[in-house]
Structure 1
Amino acid sequence: MVQIFTGLCGDDPARSVDVDFVVHAVEDLWKPEVPSESFRGHMETLEGFQELETSDEQVVEVAGIYTFYSILALRYATLYRSSANSEDALKCAHACLTAMGQLDQNLPGVTFFTQEAECQRRAISESPLEDSNASHLSRLRECDRTVGRERLVAIQSRLAG
């Protein structure tokens, strides 16, 4: 989901600090040795993002919807890494599935929801992340990068249409 956020906000100079932070936070998520305290700070920073601000208005613009899901998923991921509460991991997974289900509904002929569900199944069926298995993490990360690029292209095509 981070590629969606950076792809949609990366050209906005007003969001450059947010983009840099998101990239840093995601880098930390892939490093098992980063202490949980770091993720508490990341989570607090994310809670200050405009995507998570309380509002009476619904987000209806395409970019706003997917940047919201991106930050929401990252918030739950950092929350999980700060507490190791499996409920937070489930909330992260749910945010990703919801975003991809919504994308599927708005673009004909795509199956991002199914793809996301399969990625999640594959991630949990292999060796646990706590094992610090570098090759496993590398494969997961490369898969996430590839999938993230495909999703960003799809969202950008929706914005252009």
Structure 2
Amino acid sequence: MNSVVKPAPLSLADFNRADCLIYGIGNVGRQDDGLGWAFIDWLETAGICPEAEMVRNYQLFLEDADLISNKQKVLFVDATRDSDVEAFSLQPASARLDFTFTSHAISIPAIMATCQLCFDTQPAVYVLAIRGYEWALQEGLTAGARANLERSIAHFTL
């Protein structure tokens, strides 16, 4: 009889180490685009993952390939407009060199591929995408985005 071993669910405890990075992407001045930073705010306020390095940035930069090259695990947290994401999704990411490295909107896969090419190393990378709805020039999350943030938090705390 063949048995399939299911991987253990990812927990924040997996990132509570100095060789881990939790990276919030977003802009708190553009409503739900601030979800990545809000997740980092929650981690810091709750004292969760105090050993991990935490970063907030408006966008990814090519230099982030160097940043992740020194890490074993990385969790990127970002807002998503993807209507297929009901509240949030948590997925492993794969390296893929694309043309976003030439723009201000470099992708997580391109950062990973650059890390592999330039530093010959690749951390385990995961993406927590939290569904947002509004992106206007205004501070504060919408009620729907706040509810999705709370659902993502509950996933890690239950």
TM normalised by structure 1 equals 0.31
Higher strand share: 2
TM-score (norm 2): 0.31
Kindly indicate which of the two structures has a greater share of residues assigned to helix. Answer: 1
